[in-house]
Amino acid sequence: MGERAPPKRIPQVNVRKISPDFCEFVLSDTDPSVANALRRVMLSEVPTLAIDLVEIEVNTTVLNDEFIAHRLGLIPLVSQRVGEFTGAYDTNDDEENALMDIVFTMDVKCTGDDTLDVTSNDLQLDHNFQDIHPVAYHPSGMPMDPEAERGVLLVKLRKGQHLKLKAIARKGIGKDHAKWQPVATVTFQYMPDIRINQALMDTLSEEQKLEWVRSSPNPVFRVNPVTAQVEVLDAEAYRYDGEVIAKAKAFGKEGLVSITPRQDMFIFRVEGTGAMPTQQIVLSAIEVLLRKLDTLQQSLASEAAPMAVDNL
């Protein structure tokens, strides 16, 4: 008989909102370490594609080569197909045919008298990967919806200025460079656990109840018009500002309410950069996490096996 196994928990995910750029879900029945691991992986270990190498052939713009290269790198590329690629440092010798580079080209020259904006739309796509392109991409020259996003501005040209370059995108992770981060932010919030001491609450007058409810800067509580009881309206709106607790203290009713963050329920918010739909980011993060656990398990096993032999 070994130690008592901890109660088996099956983490739950309850998706509240989901769109290509934003998603909100509640992760419950787990603990902060798992929640944080998921957040960290989404932030820095979900692979995406981004421009990594730039060969500049002509640059007579006002911005210098390094600066333009840096700006190019930060353009989010639509990278649903990132799984097919191999990172620059991940290749093994046997994988000579591994897909690595996506080559964009750009050749813009200003001939008019007006200032010409060079945007991500001026990048010419790689023939082999027509579906890998910057976010909100409308190839220049094509009729454009005036309402549509205009692409990411890179540099402005005046008459006679010329920019010609070759940009190679590669697979990478956010840990190496922020340009490979698939998310703008990812955060989780502890679900507040609000318990109102109704017995004590009943000792307050109507006005006091209302005053107490209003003392919270965000609408967390309300007085039920029917029962005249104070109830939690929106626990998540609570900011741990301590205003209601201070108010209760001012009334001389300490312990009117107890508010603690729950350690097993987290509200996640993921904001994508457009490189990947948020759903894919989360799934891909879980995949990375699983792979890490696998590696760990295998390493442990291989560590443990010879040890077992030694012990014999």
Partner 1 sequence: MQKGTVQGRDTPQELLDLVQPHIESFDYFLDEGVKRVVENVDPIEVEHSTTKQRHKIWFEAPRIAQPKSDLATGFDDRLYPTECRESGITYKAVLSVDIHFQQEGHGTQHITRTFGSLPMMVRSSKCWLRKCDRAGMVRHGEEANEMGGYFICNGIERVLRMLIQQRRHYIMALRRGAYENRGRNFTNMATLIRCVRPDESSAQVRCHYLKDGLVNVSFIIRRAEFFIPAGILLKCFLEVTDRELFEKISAVDPQDRGRAATFREDRAELLIRQAAHYGLHTRAQCVEYLGQSFRTLVDPPARRTDYQVGEELLRQYLFIHLTHPADKLNLLLTMLHKLYALASGQCCEDNPDALNHHELLLPGHLMMRFLKENLEANLAGMKASIMQDMGRNSEAVMLTDGKYIKKVADKMPDIGRKVEYLLNTGNMTTRFGIDISQNTGFTVVAEKLNFFRYLSHFRSVHRGAYFAELRTTTVRKLLPESWGFMCPVHTPDGSPCGLLNHLTAACKVAGTGPEVPEDSDEGIATVLTGLGMTPAVPALAVPPVPVYCVVMLDGRVLGHVRTDRAPSIVARLRAIKAAALALLQPRQHPADAKVTELQGPEKKIPAGMEIAHLPYERGSPYPGIYLFTAAARFLRPVRQVASRAPELIGSLEQAHMSIRCPDGGAGGSRGQRFTHEEFGTGAMLSVVAGLTPYSDYNQSPRNMYQCQMGKQTMGTPAQALVHRPDGKMYRIHTPQTPLARTHRYDAYKMDEYPNGTNAIVAVLAYTGYDMEDAMILCKSAVDRGFAHGTLYKTDTVDLRTEKGDKDQVFAPDTRKPRFPRRDMGPPKGAFGEEFPQNIISHSENQSVAQGRVRASPTHLDPERIDYDGLPHIGAAIWPGQTYYNTLDRISKSGKGGKLKGEEVGVIDQVTIIGAKERDLQKAAIKMRISRNPVIGDKFSSRHGQKGVLSQHWPDADMPFCARTGIRPDLLINPHAFPSRMTIGMLVESMVSKAGALQGRFVDASPFQSSDGIETDPIRDFGAALEKAGFARHGGEIMVSGITGEEFAADIFIGPVYYQRLRHMVSDKFQVRSTGPVNKLTRQPVKGRKMGGGIRFGEMERDALLAHGAAYLLHDRLHTCSDYDVADCCASCGSILSPTQRPVPLPSIAARITFGATPTGKATCRICGDGARIERVALPYVFRYLLAELAVMNIKLSLTLQ
Binding residues for partner 1, rule: CB under 8 A, are: 32-33, 35-37, 39-40, 43-44, 55-57, 59, 64-67, 70, 74, 174-175, 177-179, 181, 185-190, 217-218, 239-241, 261, 269, 271
Report the residue number, 120 or 138, with the smaller CB distance to partner 1. 120
Nearest approach in angstroms of CB 58 to partner 1 is 9
Nearest approach in angstroms of CB 162 to partner 1 is 13
Nearest approach in angstroms of CB 137 to partner 1 is 21
In 3D space, the residue among 92, 11, 24, 12 whose CA is nearest the CA of residue 279 turns out to be 24
Report the residue number, 150 or 175, with the smaller CB distance to partner 1. 175
> What CA–CA distance (Å, rounded) separates 86 from 167?
17
Report the residue number, 240 or 300, with the smaller CB distance to partner 1. 240
Report the residue number, 43 or 244, with the smaller CB distance to partner 1. 43
Report the residue number, 58 or 304, with the smaller CB distance to partner 1. 58
> What CA–CA distance (Å, rounded) separates 289 from 178?
20
**Considering just the CA atoms, what is the radius of gyration of the chain in Å?**
27
**45 contact partners, CB below 8 Å, separation of at least 6:** 173, 174, 175, 285, 288
Report the residue number, 75 or 201, with the smaller CB distance to partner 1. 75
Residue 260, amino acid? T
Nearest approach in angstroms of CB 72 to partner 1 is 12
Nearest approach in angstroms of CB 64 to partner 1 is 6
Tokens of 183: 């998310």
Nearest approach in angstroms of CB 25 to partner 1 is 14
> What CA–CA distance (Å, rounded) separates 251 from 268?
36
